[in-house]
């Protein structure tokens, strides 16, 4: 297998962590890591990534059979199914419902929260200022960027508030330590934790009143913190972009050949 990825990518972080926590049983995985820092990310790097994914998106997991999985959730599910079934609930020690719960919660969270996180990061990562739509989105959804520390919570759409209540009051209720219940982490935790880091470090979410989420996040930091270190640093850089006057702008539909999150 081959993994084309970046330590600076929000969407690649869950798969990167899973590979680190559960190395392939065969030991045969070649990792290609791309530095997405402007000025270092070059047309040559872009061409290398385009060879496996013409959309120039990370992560890309290339199977032993040569199939390139270019969707981040499909890639982490495939890797877990073939190399780390305990993380997908398909191992022999899991009850028959666990795999279905994990899959359902990944899909539920990804369909409701990830599009908003992606849009916000796209706006914050932008390089031109031609399109006022993105600055308007940041103002309306994420709040005044140079104002309160709690920029995101007071402006969250009701739907996203509902997902946070679902996570805090249902998925992590009744002493459940992790997103899919019980005391064992899964790919669902890795996916949700990446979004949590963006909410906290970039969009300045405080999570006051969400005690179950805060306790879960502490457990996740202990479990995968070192494997998210580069990713967390990249998210801090996004946060610094927020504080820089005039930093917000919009990407021109990847016309420059930049890599993007998948």
The pLDDT confidence band at residue 249, using thresholds 50, 70 and 90, is very low
User: Could you give the percent of the chain with pLDDT greater than 70?
Assistant: 71
pLDDT at 167 over 50: yes
Q: What pLDDT digit, counting tens, does each position of 11-54 carry?
A: 899 999 999 999 998 778 999 988 876 555 555 667 888 889 88
pLDDT at 226: 80
Condensed to tens digits (0 to 9), the pLDDT of residues 131-151 reads 444 444 444 444 433 343 444
pTM of the predicted model, to two decimals?
0.80
- SS3 per-residue string spanning the chain: CEEEECCCCCCCHHHHHHHHHCCCCCCCCEEEECCCCECCECHHHHHHHHCCCCCCEECEEECCCCCEECCHHHHHHHHHHHHCHHHCCCCCCCCCCHHHHHHHHHHHHHHHCHHHHHHHHHHHCCCECCCHHHHHHHHHHHCCCCCCCCCCHHHCCHHHHHHHHHHHHHHCCCCCCCCCCCCCCCHHHHHHHHHHHHHHHCCCCCCCCCHHHHHHHHHHHHHHHHHHHHHHHHHHHHHHHHHCCCCCCECCCCCCCCCEEC
| Higher-scoring residue by pLDDT: 240, 118 | 118
* pLDDT of 252 strictly over 70: no
């Amino acid at each position: 297998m081959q993994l084309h990825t970046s330590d600076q990518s929000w969407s690649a972080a869950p798969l990167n962590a899973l590979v680190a926590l559960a190395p392939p049983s065969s030991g045969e995985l070649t990792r290609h890591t791309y530095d997405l820092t402007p000025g270092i990310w070059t047309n040559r790097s872009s061409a290398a990534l385009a060879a496996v994914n013409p959309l120039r998106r990370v992560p890309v997991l290339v199977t032993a059979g040569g199939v390139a999985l270019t969707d981040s959730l499909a890639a982490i599910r495939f890797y877990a199914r073939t190399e780390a079934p305990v993380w997908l609930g398909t191992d022999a020690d899991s009850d028959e419902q666990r795999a279905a719960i994990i899959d359902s919660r990944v899909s539920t969270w990804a369909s409701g929260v990830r599009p908003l996180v992606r849009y916000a990061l796209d706006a914050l990562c932008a390089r031109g200022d031609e399109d006022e739509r993105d600055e308007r989105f940041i103002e309306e959804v994420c709040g005044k960027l140079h104002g309160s520390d709690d920029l995101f919570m007071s402006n969250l759409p009701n739907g996203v508030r509902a997902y946070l209540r679902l996570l805090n009051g249902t998925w992590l209720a009744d002493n459940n330590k992790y997103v899919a219940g019980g005391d064992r982490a899964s790919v669902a935790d890795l996916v949700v934790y990446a979004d949590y880091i963006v909410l906290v470090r970039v969009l300045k979410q405080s999570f006051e009143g969400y005690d179950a989420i805060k306790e879960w996040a502490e457990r996740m930091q202990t479990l995968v913190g070192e494997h998210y270190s580069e990713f967390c640093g990249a998210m801090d850089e996004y946060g610094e972009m927020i504080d820089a006057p005039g930093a917000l702008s919009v990407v021109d539909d990847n016309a420059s050949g930049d890599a993007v999150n998948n």
